[in-house]
Amino acid sequence: MTHDARRYCALPSPFAMKRGGALREARVAYETWGELNSARDNAVLILTGLSPSAHAASNAEDPSDGWWEAMIGPGKAIDSSRWFVICVNSLGSDKGSTCARSINPATGEPYRLDFPELSLEDVANAAHVAVTSLGIDQLACLIGCSMGGMSALAYMVLHPGSVRAHISVDTAPQAQPFAIAIRSLQREAIRLDPHWNNGRYADDDYPVDGMSIARKLGVITYRSAMEWNGRFARIRLDPEQRDDNPFGLEFEVESYLEGHAQRFVHTFDPNSYLYLSRASDWFDMAEYGNGNVMEGLKRISVEKAMVIGVSTDILFPLEQQEQIADGLRAAGAAVEFVALNSPQGHDAFLVDIPNYSRAIGGFLGGL
């Protein structure tokens, strides 16, 4: 028996996209935890990284663990006995929201590469529609993780006054060349797989190799070299675990990446991956500050903010978190900056739960 707690919000039709074009009959998926109070002022919105669904934690309709299970629930850091928690699946993601895999009502066929160019501003605007559809004028807090942190910055700059407090988790005000380069290689791996077929693949003729390499590249950058050394060193696989191919898997770290990739490959739509990856490259707060990131950030008005970063994050380096903190402070927010030394790198927010719980729970407890 499959459990599904997703709810759906229809977007205005047409829904205009930042870079041109529009979607018709589009929607986003979301899930909720806790109850909205009578004043409608206890809502907390979570915007996700590139691949997660709206199922951030278990709930009555879907008891399976969510991607941030240890953080959300009664008595947890994001306390659903106090807060009405909403997690929206990004527009362009294949976890229930309209994406490249969805049917284009104009043709009756999947959009594939006819899906309009996607920006994180579109992701933010779609999430804002979902929030207002619930009768919420202002969020008590907006939490953005990784790509979702960039979407959150877009949300706040495009919808002034819609957010009282903000928690920025392992993100950036713009992509740096290293992050763009990695995502470029991930997209190239997918596009060079002959089964990708210019976006016209089928489930039984699927770009497995391209998606596998893209995921491995991602996993390498989501963790730190320190963690790789500590976990795997130079340990080799037992002879019976190796494959017979020349240059095949020999080290434990290779086997770990292979396992990660195999679990991921069929769980995310390749075209959705391409669209959201490119949207992450394009996002730039400098667009809102006449070419200056700090000036763009100064256009965001919130009362309080917490910016969390990790010293071992190579994808969204700590100095980018400091930039967000400085910008929000310059805009008049009371900002708490938390620099963690978690060895897990960018993925620390999914793994180092004690430190993130302490920070996020403490901040929300003070609201």
Close Cβ partners of 294 (under 8 Å, ≥ 6 residues apart): 323, 326, 327, 330
215 marked ligand binding residue? yes
Closest listed residue to residue 302, CA positions, set 161, 107, 110, 124: 161
263 marked ligand binding residue? no
Q: What radius of gyration, in Å, describes the C-alpha atoms of the chain?
A: 20
Query: For residues 185 and 217, is the Cβ–Cβ distance under 8 A?
Result: yes
φ, ψ at 138 (rounded to 5°): -140, 130
DSSP conformation letters of 24-78: SS-EEEEEEES---TTS--EEEEE--SS--S--S--SS--S--TTTTTEETTSSE
Which of the residues 55, 159, 166, 346 is marked catalytic?
A: 346
313 is catalytic: yes
Residue 17 DSSP SS3 = coil
Query: For residues 90 and 144, is the Cβ–Cβ distance under 8 A?
Result: no
φ, ψ at 69 (rounded to 5°): -50, -45
Q: Which residues of 232-267 are buried (b: 16+ CB within 10 A; e: fewer)?
A: eeeeebeeeeeeeeeeebeebbbbbbeebbeebbee
Which of the residues 122, 170, 269, 313 is marked catalytic?
A: 313
Angle, CA of 76, 78 and 82, to the nearest 5°: 90
| d(C-alpha 32, C-alpha 5), whole Å | 8
Residue 84 structure tokens: 């009405």
Q: Can you state the angle between helices 225-232 and 252-265, rounded to 10 degrees?
A: 110
| d(C-alpha 42, C-alpha 81), whole Å | 11
Which of the residues 93, 119, 146, 168 is marked catalytic?
A: 146
Beta bridge partners of 143: 46, 167
145-to-46, 204, 233, 349 alpha-carbon distances in Å: 8, 33, 29, 8
62 is catalytic: no
Instruction: List, as residue ranges, the binding site for substrate.
Output: 215, 347
**Catalytic (active-site) positions:** 146, 313, 346
Instruction: List, as residue ranges, the binding site.
Output: 215, 347
